[in-house]
Structure 1
Amino acid sequence: MDTGSHLLFGATLAGLAMLDPVVAGQPQLAHAVLAGTLIGSHAPDFDTLTRLKGFTAYLKHHRGLSHALPALFVWPVLVSLPLAWIFGVQDGWLHLFAWTMAAVCFHVFLDAFNAYGVQCFRPITRKWVHLDILCLYEPFLFGLHAAGLAAWLVTDWPPGPLFAAVYASTFAYIALRALHHRHSLVTFRKRYGIYGSCHLIPTLNWFRWQYIVEQDGRFQVGLVCKGRMESQEILEQDDNPAIQATRGMDGVRAFLQFAQRIHVSCKENEDGYEVKWSDVRFSHRHKLSFGVDVKLDRNLRVISQRAGYRKKGYEPPYI
């Protein structure tokens, strides 16, 4: 999810930690836990530093090893050990480690529920897990946790029970969204007789989904609301020697390792060709918003390549 949400959840996890009598009984340990959950809630996304080496490096590594099974143990150790020394709470290190680990695990758990996905089962498998249930930013969850944090700061309510209710509501919301997604997908398939691969991707509107259908060698994309199509677009696959000439590019190779629903197009112009590799999951209003653009000359030599989003950060889709 977005950075702001992850950090907010880190703060509310520190409130939930007040259910732990050892943490609640030692102010210094409670402060260390707050630092640990804040850092731990963002630690898996430290891989964004790879963007300094370019978007191709970022695409290769983001939500990969930093979110994998070993990382669920490595990050808490790296965060909790120095914090235990800084706050002088070595005797309570195990509790600090456990709550920091809870923050790391909750981060990865949430990332698995959006459309971008995460390689959370590495090294067992490099498969991307994306459940397509939550948006990158969920207003309900953000508002729920922000309200809980505000109540902790300005009232005398005991934080343990308060945040137990907040997290119970959080998991109930995710479960309801999962059931709604499943029901919407089954209804959509039956109503339109879809037999190929089909995805429903959430939008900020709870009752409107972006759909992606892959069958008969082409993509059908659009919006669906309460099981009924609101818009529709057909994306045909192109076939051109210029497309094959781009497969060896670093950006294209990294993209193909990550992308789930791949569309490629080739446009011929006066100087040569422009090949666009896109992940259809990131489409919005007749625009494929994420992929790799490669320009070639008439002899199929690569002139330039660009990998990344074809949109502003504030523009949809929010995945």
Structure 2
Amino acid sequence: MDTGSHLLFGVTLAGLACLEPAVAQEPELAHAILTCTLIGSHAPDFDTLARLRGYASYVRIHRGITHSLPALLLWPLVISLPIAGLFGVWEHLLSLYLWTFAAVSFHVFLDLFNVYGVQCFRPLSKKWFHLDTLCLYEPFLFGLHSAGLLLWIFLWQLHGGSLIGVMFAWIYGITFAYIAIRFVQRHSLIRRVKSALQRDGICHLIPGLHWFHWQFVLESDDSFYLGVIRYGKVEIDESFARTDYIGDDSHPIIRATLSTDGVRAFLHFAQRIYVCWREKQDGEGYEVQWRDVRFWHKKKLPFGVNVQLDRDMNVVSDTLGWDKKAWDPPYV
């Protein structure tokens, strides 16, 4: 999810920690846990530093090893040890570790439900897992936890920490119930899309900010079908032939782009792949476009890599990234 939401959940997890009597009664421990959960809730996304080496490096690394199974155990250790020393709460090190573990795990859990996905089972598997259930930013969850934070400030002044843990237990119960409802809704809509199109295949849904607005991509044996679902009504916006991009019969112009850094990074991440090429108007070469169809919007495929070739099919340049405004959908 977005950075603001992850940090907010880190704060509210510290509120949930008030279920422990020691946390509610000892300010030093409460501050230490808040620091741990706040850092832990964002720690997996420290991989964004890979952007300094270029976007291709970022695509390879983001939501990979920093979100992996070993990372779930190592981040809490790296964070809780210095925080325990800084606040002088060594006797509560286990509690610090476990609440930091909860923050890191909840971060990865939320990313798993996003369309972008996460390689959360590395090193056992490098496969991208994504449950296509939550937006990058979920207004309901952000509002729910923000309200809890404001109530925390108010209740602490009146009653101390005695009611904080119980309140956040309810908030997190509602959070998981909301995710479960959206997950069931997604499965129901996938069946509806396949029934409406009378096609079988792999169907991806992209949730919108509105509870009842979704985008879908259905890949059948020979075509891609792109459309929207509004209040349960399935509408097809576009369909086009599926292109096989790997194999001995691939077009030589397309094959010439496979060695570029941008295409290698793209193929590491993309799943519903469409590739096409065209000759430049000036006749001085070719342009090859690789796209991940999952992220279509308004008849455009905004995520992919453009490769420029000269007449002899030598690579001139390659550009990987998004061709959209940051505030435009899809929110992944």
Interval of TM-score (by shorter of Structure 1 and Structure 2): over 0.9
Contact kept in structure 2, 1:240 and 1:266, CA below 8 Å: no
Contact kept in structure 1, 2:11 and 2:37, CA below 8 Å: yes
CA distance in 2 between partners of 1:187 and 1:283 (Å) = 20
**Per-residue deviation, 1:251:** 1.4
Deviations 1:260-305 (A, max 9, x none): 1111111211221111111111110011111111111111011111
The TM-score normalised by the length of structure 2 is 0.93
SS at match of 1:142: helix
Larger CA deviation: 112-121 vs 190-199:
190-199
Q: Structure 1 231/237 Cα, relative in aligned 2: closer, same or farther at 3 Å?
A: closer
SS at match of 1:195: coil
Contact kept in structure 2, 1:191 and 1:227, CA below 8 Å: no
CA distance in 1 between partners of 2:66 and 2:270 (Å) = 18
Deviations 1:117-164 (A, max 9, x none): 000001111111100000100000000000000111123362111111
Contact kept in structure 2, 1:276 and 1:292, CA below 8 Å: yes
Match among 209, 230, 249 for residue 214 of structure 2: 209
SS at match of 2:120: coil
Larger CA deviation: 220-229 vs 34-43:
220-229
1:1-319 alignment to 2 at 5 Å? Answer: 1-155=1-155, 156=158, 158-237=163-242, 240-269=251-280, 270-319=283-332
Contact kept in structure 2, 1:188 and 1:227, CA below 8 Å: no
**Per-residue deviation, 1:237:** 4.7
Identity %: 56
SS at match of 2:69: coil
**Per-residue deviation, 1:216:** 3.2
CA distance in 2 between partners of 1:221 and 1:187 (Å) = 14
CA distance in 2 between partners of 1:272 and 1:228 (Å) = 44
The TM-score normalised by the length of structure 1 is 0.97
Contact kept in structure 2, 1:23 and 1:95, CA below 8 Å: no
Deviations 1:22-52 (A, max 9, x none): 3223210110000000000000000000110
SS at match of 1:318: coil
Deviations 1:237-275 (A, max 9, x none): 566421110011111111101111111111211221111
CA distance in 2 between partners of 1:211 and 1:227 (Å) = 12
CA distance in 2 between partners of 1:103 and 1:128 (Å) = 21
Map of 2:247 onto structure 1: none
Contact kept in structure 2, 1:237 and 1:265, CA below 8 Å: no
CA distance in 1 between partners of 2:102 and 2:287 (Å) = 46
Opposite residue 191 of structure 2, the aligned amino acid is: V
CA distance in 2 between partners of 1:224 and 1:267 (Å) = 33
CA distance in 1 between partners of 2:165 and 2:298 (Å) = 44
Aligned length: 319
SS at match of 1:287: coil
Opposite residue 116 of structure 1, the aligned amino acid is: Y
